[in-house]
Amino acid sequence: MKILLLFILTGIMLSACSKPGIKTQTADLDEQKEVVITNDMENAKGVVPGWLNENTVIATKEPFAHSGEYACLTDDSNQYSYYYKEIVKNIRSGVPKMATFSGWVYTTVPTPNFAIICNINDNAKLYDWKAYPLDKELTKTGKWIAFSSAFYFDDLPLKPDMEIGIFAWNQSKKPVYIDDIKITFSY
């Protein structure tokens, strides 16, 4: 009996930490206070719905990606990172009060001109945008640094048909990598 239980528990644990990739937690949408979207970039080349700029995701060994083989490289030729874009009502019903965008960054220059950008589009036109600069947090080169940025929507009437885009903007022209993104929409 104990052995059987052990096998069952092991099975549950294995399925809980199953394959890497993109996860969206969407149970009981109306009850849920948060929608959490994670992306470790390992499946980006397969083109994930809601994500753009997959050409910036590369297999990298110098530096090693923060997870797996793949991370997003921004530099002088790609200022904009791997890019999350979704219509508000497709995330879940209702309108989020805020979004946080966290993850890991690896910079090759200290204090790069590097920011997380949140675009709000209305009818395919830019309606508003917000920036969260990370330069002061990225003082150390050559290591992965955790970051978290927050965007509040209470200053504008965000509507279900509007579109939210979140990405990193690297204006330093030097290589800055990003990996293991987590976006949390709070309602």
The binding site for Ca ion (CB under 5 A) comprises 40-41, 65, 67-68, 70, 179
Tokens coding 101: 């965008």
The phi and psi torsions of 162 (rounded to 5 degrees) equal: -75, 165
Residue (65 or 164) nearer to Ca ion, CB = 65
Among residues 74 and 96, whose Cβ is nearest to Ca ion? 74
The DSSP line for 44-65 is GGG--TTEE-GGGEEE-BTTBP
The CB-of-23 to Ca ion minimum distance in angstroms stands at 13
- Cβ proximity to Ca ion, 45 vs 159, nearer residue: 45
Nearer to Ca ion, 91 or 105 (CB): 105
Closest distance between Ca ion and the C-beta of residue 44, in Å?
9
Compute the least distance from the CB of residue 41 to Ca ion, in Å: 4
- Which residues does 27 contact at the CB level (< 8 Å), separation at least 6? none
Residue 62 phi, psi dihedral angles, 5° rounding: -130, 90
Task: Return the number of the residue (91 or 178) whose C-beta is nearest Ca ion.
Answer: 178
User: What is the phi-psi region of residue 156: left when phi exceeds 0, alpha when psi lies from -120 to 50, beta otherwise?
Assistant: beta
Closest chain position to Ca ion (CB): 67
Q: How far is the CB of 53 from Ca ion (least distance, A)?
A: 15
Distance, CA of 101 to CA of 166 (rounded, Å): 8
As measured in angstroms, the least distance from the Cβ of 87 to Ca ion is 26
